[in-house]
Chain A
Amino acid sequence: MSENADSMQTRHFLLRRLHSLTGIVPIGVFLIVHLTTNSTIAWGGLNTRAQSEGFGWMDRAIATFQHEVSFINNMPLLLLIEVTLWSAIGFHSILGVYYAISGKGNTGAYKYSSNFRYALQRITGYFGIFFIFYHVATLRWGWTWLVPGGTQWSHEAASSTFAAAIQGSTDGFTAVGFLVACFYFLGVSALVFHFANGLWTAAITWGITISRPAQKRWGVICAGLGAGLMLMAWASVIGFATLDYEQASAVEKTMHGEQIHLNTDEPTEAVTLTESKEIDG
C-alpha cells in the first residue's frame, strides 16, 4: 500500500471516529446540559431558593431559568466553550450529511425497527441541523425577521422573550406562532432521538457492545436516557409555549430590580448583567 493510501486510511478512520465522538462529547453532553437548563421552566418551581415576595410556582420557575441563563452568560472562557461547540456541531453535521447521503434507505422493503431507526437517525440529523440553525439564527444572531411577531430574544429577559418568540406574540399564540411551537417540539424530539440512538450505535461503532444481549441491554439504557431527555425537551417546549409573557416579564423585572437570593453559597451577589458573552439559552 502506498504512503498516500495509508494516510488516507488513517484519515478516514479518524474522521469517522471523531464524528462519532463529537456526537457524544461535546454535542451530546451539551444537549443534556441545555435541556436540563431549559426544562427548569417546567420544574424550576421546585427551587424554593428562587423565592421572592409573592412568587408562585411559575414565578420561581421563571426566576430559576433566568438565573441559569445568566449564570451561563457569566461563565469564564465562554467563548472557548462556544467555539468548541460550534466547530463540533459544524464538523459533525457536515460529515453527518456526507455520510447520510452515502447510504440509500430502504425501509419500504425492509420494515425492521432497526432499519427505521437507521433512517430516522439520518432524517433527524437533517431536521435537527435545520432546527438548530433556525433556533440559533433567531435567538442568537437576531434574525428577527424569521420570528413571528419579531420579538428579539434577550438573555436578560430569557423566559419572556423566548415565550414570545415561540408563541408568535407577546400576548398568547398566533397561528404562525403555534407552528413555530410545533416546529420546536419536533426539533427537540428529533435531536433527542438522534442523540439517544446515536449513543446506542456508538457503542457498536467503538466495539463496546458486541453480543446481542449486550446490544440489547445498552439499548434499554439508551432508550431510558432518551425517554428522560425527551420528557425534559417536551417539558421545556410546552413550558415556554404556555408561559404568560406578562408574568415572565414581571418576574424578570423584579429580578433585575431587586436582589433575589438564588444561591445560598453566594448570598450577597446580585444577578449582574454583562454585555459580553451570551449563548442561545
Chain B
Amino acid sequence: MSEAEAYAYDAEMRKANRAKAVAGRSVIFKIKRCDGPNKPSRWESFKVPIEEGANVISSLNWIAANPVTVDGKKTTPVVWESSCLEEVCGACTMLINGRVRQSCSCLINEYAPREGDVMTLEPMSKFPVIRDLWVDRARLFHNLTRIKAWVPIDGTYNMGPGPKESHDHQQMRYALSECMSCGCCLDACPQFTKQEDESKWDSSFIGAHAISQARYFNEHDTGKQLKADRMDALSGAGGINDCGNAQNCVKVCPKGIPLTESIGAIGRSATIHAIKQFFQGKK
C-alpha cells in the first residue's frame, strides 16, 4: 500500500464507519492498565454507552465516573494525560487499536460503529509508564535541550524587530513550528526504542521530532547561530544517522509536519558540517 493509499484507506474506512454508526450503542473499551513503574500490566474491559460525538476522552471520563468493569468488578478510574482536547497540546497521545494517536480527536464512531465493538487503549510503547495510560515523556523534552531548541536572543529588552523574513520562508517555518511534541513520530519509529536509563538518552536515537525542530531553528536567522552545536549533537551517536528511513514518522504525525523532508535537510546539513569540519579543523 502506498502512502497515499494508506491515508486514503484509513480515511475512507473511518468515514465509512461513521456512516454506519449505530445510535445508542455501547462499546467495549479494553484498556491496558498498570499501577505504576515496575508493576505488572493487566487488561480491563469496560462497557461504555456512546453518546453523540463521543471520543476516547469522553469515554474515559465516563469510565472515571463509573469505574466498573464488564464483569461487574469495581475498579479505579483509569489514569491518562490530557489538556487541550483540541489536538494542539499533544498530551493525550496513546495507542488506540495498537496505533499511536491523540485520544481527544479520536471519534468512537470512526473506530467502533456497531454495538459491542471493541476498542483497545494502551499507553505509548516507547516511554516508561507512570500509571495506566500515562507515560513519562521527559526524554522527548530532553531531546529538545539536546539540540538547543531555542533562538539565542540577547535578552528580553526592547531592541527592535527580529530579522525580516519572506512570506515563503515563513510558510516553511510555520509548517515545522506546529509540532506539539506529542511523540507519535517517536512511538511509531522502528529506530526509536524505549530507553529508561536517563544516562543513555544522549546517545540513543533522538527521533524525527527533535531532528525537525533542529531544522526549524537552523532556519531562523538568529537561531542559525547555534547550528554548529546542533549539528554536532545530531552527527553523533543517536543523531540523524540512526534514522532508518522507515518514514512512519511522517505518516503518524497528526500535524502533518514534513518530517522526512526535515530528515533529508538535516542529513544534508550533516554532510556539509562534516566536510566543513574536515577542512576547517575542529571548532
Contacts and interface: CB of A to CB of B under 8 A. Distances in A.
**In the complex, are there CB atoms of A and B closer than 8 Å?**
yes
Interface of A: 1, 5-6, 8-10, 12-13, 16-17, 99, 102-106, 108-115, 117-119, 121, 200-201, 204-212, 214-215
Interface string B24-43: 00000000000000000000
B236 interface: yes
Tell which of B188, B264, B270, B272 has the most Cβ of chain A within 10 Å. Answer: B264
Interface string B173-196: 000000000000000101101000
A115 B274 CA distance: 29
A89 B99 CA distance: 37
A115 B246 contact: yes
Contacts of A112: 1, 3, 6, 246-248, 251
A204 B263 contact: yes
B171 interface: no
Contacts of A200: 245
B224 to A, nearest CB: 17
Contacts of B66: none
A13 B245 CA distance: 17
A207 B1 contact: no
A12 B1 contact: no
B72 interface: no
Contact of A103 (B193, B241, B267): B193
B42 to A, nearest CB: 21
A247 to B, nearest CB: 45
B249 to A, nearest CB: 10
The 6 closest A-B pairs by CB, nearest first: A207-B268, A118-B246, A9-B236, A16-B241, A210-B264, A207-B267
Contact of A8 (B95, B191, B236): B236
Interface in B33-87: none
Contacts of B245: 114, 118, 200-201, 204-205
